[in-house]
Amino acid sequence: MKGLVLADVRKNQFLFHFRNLNFIYRIGFILLIVFVLLFLDNVISNQKEAWISIALFSLLLLQFHITRKDFRFIQVNIKPSILNIQIEYLVYSIPIFIVLSIKLMFFHLIVLIGTVCFIAIIKYNRITTYSYYTSYIKIHPQMFEWRSGLKKVFYFFAVIFIISLLLTPFRLVSIFMLWILSNFISGFFASNESIQLLSVFAMDSRKLIRHKILSTLKYTYLVFVPVLIAYIFFNPADIWFVILFLFNITIYLIFVIVFKYALYEPGKDFSGNQLILGISQLSVVIPFLLPLPAILALRFYKKAVLNLNQYL
């Protein structure tokens, strides 16, 4: 396939999902875009904050790039593959482009474009790192999502964790880093396991879902809590914000697991439901979206139980 195929696919995916939203959700989506633009306009108030925003966005984009599962498919089937990925990432950058252009920060804009285009050409070697990290991190064999996920992104995951720990004296930077790590963790659940792996637990549907939720939260807290304690030490005034952030992360991860098993089909890829998951990710850092994953988790829980009953 030649031409700007990827941009065309993303446009069609967006239009398909948008048309399937009811009127209230469409209004909510538009308001979300407006909120993001206003938020960026407020955050990027000077050159220093512009550079920080570009750096954080680039880090988030890099995280998306090295964890995407269609990279090999694009390389083989879409030509020119790099140009298609670059245009896709530039589209994702439009909100920041708009704000930087309005504020006449053209040099920052050029740097952002260059960084985005550079990220698109990075070929991340997804070699299994199991033998390296299992010597230091003991993960229960039943937590195959974590074991499989860390095999692919362990080095980057570890670097983000270390950076978040080192930057705890600076307000909100470590929180943003942990939010990126939460996106990694949700990505661990992007594939549906086989029935054989599911049957290893020897549990009914409700117990299995509860076990998955509690185990995931345990490992997540083991990663997040040391950083958050250090952050509170340097920023004691933010203690309630930290508690709210951890609560939001908890609700989001509960939703990810419930949503996965509500749509579970043995061996099928779960990564096609990115719109709902993406909006739920934003709920962690955008307060007025907080009820969304909680409501959806309650809505999909019963469906998850009934769906798993077919296989257990």
* Sign of the torsion angle spanned by Cα atoms 60, 66, 69, 74: positive
Record the pTM. 0.66
Three-state DSSP class for residue 37: helix
DSSP 260-271: HHHS--TT-B-T
Q: Where are the domains of the chain?
A: 1-124, 129-312
Q: What is the number of alpha carbons within 13 Å of residue 128 lying toward its C-beta?
A: 5
How far, CA to CA in Å, does 268 sit from each of 9, 167, 291?
21, 39, 29
pLDDT of 269 reads 65
Three-state DSSP class for residue 57: helix
pLDDT of 228 reads 92
The residues pairing with 191 across neighbouring beta strands, listed in sequence order, are 269
pLDDT of 285 reads 63
Cα distance between residue 221 and residue 228, in whole Å = 10
Residues 30 and 21 sit within 8 Å (Cβ to Cβ): no
pLDDT of 131 reads 46
Q: What is the pLDDT along the chain (312 residues), one digit of tens a residue?
A: 565 667 777 777 777 777 777 777 677 777 777 877 887 788 787 887 888 888 878 877 887 787 776 777 777 777 777 888 888 888 888 888 888 888 888 888 888 888 888 888 877 655 444 444 444 456 666 677 777 777 777 777 887 888 888 888 888 888 888 888 888 888 888 777 777 777 766 678 888 888 889 989 988 998 899 999 999 998 899 899 899 889 888 988 998 889 888 888 776 665 555 656 666 666 666 666 677 788 888 888 888 888 888 876
What are the tokens at 42? 């407020």
The residues pairing with 79 across neighbouring beta strands, listed in sequence order, are 2
